[in-house]
Amino acid sequence: MKKWMKFLSIALAVITLFTLSFTGVTAKTTPNSVKVKRAETLSDTISNNKYGFTYFMTTEGDSLYCIDNEKLALQSNTEVTLIGEADAGVQYILEHGYPNVRPTGNDENDKIITQAAIWWYLDDTNQGNNNVSDTFRNATTTDLYDLIPKYIKPLVADAKKAQKNTTQTPKIVISKDSATLKLTSDEKNYESSLITATITNAPTYKVQVSNGEVTDENGKAKTTFNSKEQFKIVVPANEVKEADEINVSLEATNTGKKAMIFKSNNNAYQRVVGLYEEPKTAKINTKLAVNVEKHICEIIGDTFYGKKGTIVDEKTYTKECKKSCEVIDDVYYGKAGNVVDKDTYKQECEKSCILINDVYYGKDGNIVDKNTYDAECGVVVAAPNTSANIPVIVIVLGLLLVLAGTGLIIYRTRKSYL
**Confidence band for 380, pLDDT divided at 50, 70 and 90:** low
Average pLDDT over every residue of 171-176 = 90
Please tell me whether residues 86 and 215 are part of one structural domain. Answer: no
pLDDT over threshold 80, residue 404: no
**Confidence band for 218, pLDDT divided at 50, 70 and 90:** very high
Cα gap 274→261, rounded to integer Å: 7
Q: Which one-letter DSSP state was computed for residue 150?
A: I
Give the pLDDT of residue 25. 42
Please tell me whether residues 126 and 148 are part of one structural domain. Answer: yes
Please tell me whether residues 61 and 139 are part of one structural domain. Answer: yes
pLDDT digits (tens, 9 = 90+) for 292-345: 666 777 787 888 877 777 788 888 887 777 777 777 778 787 776 677 888 888
pLDDT over threshold 80, residue 141: no
Give the pLDDT of residue 158. 96
- Report how many domains make up the chain: 3
Give the pLDDT of residue 151. 94
pLDDT over threshold 80, residue 8: no
- H/E stretch holding 235: strand 230-236
Kindly report the average pLDDT of the chain as a whole number.
Answer: 79
Domain assignment of residue 376, yes or no: no
Cα atoms found within 13 Å of the Cα of residue 238, Cβ hemisphere only: 3
Please tell me whether residues 36 and 137 are part of one structural domain. Answer: yes
Average pLDDT over every residue of 117-123 = 92
pLDDT over threshold 80, residue 150: yes
Q: What is the chain's percent helix, strand, coil content, to nearest 5?
A: 25, 35, 40
Residue 20: which CATH number? Answer: 2.60.40
Please tell me whether residues 181 and 94 are part of one structural domain. Answer: no
Q: Any idea which of 156-160, 184-188, 287-291, 382-386 has the lowest mean pLDDT?
A: 382-386
Give the pLDDT of residue 294. 65
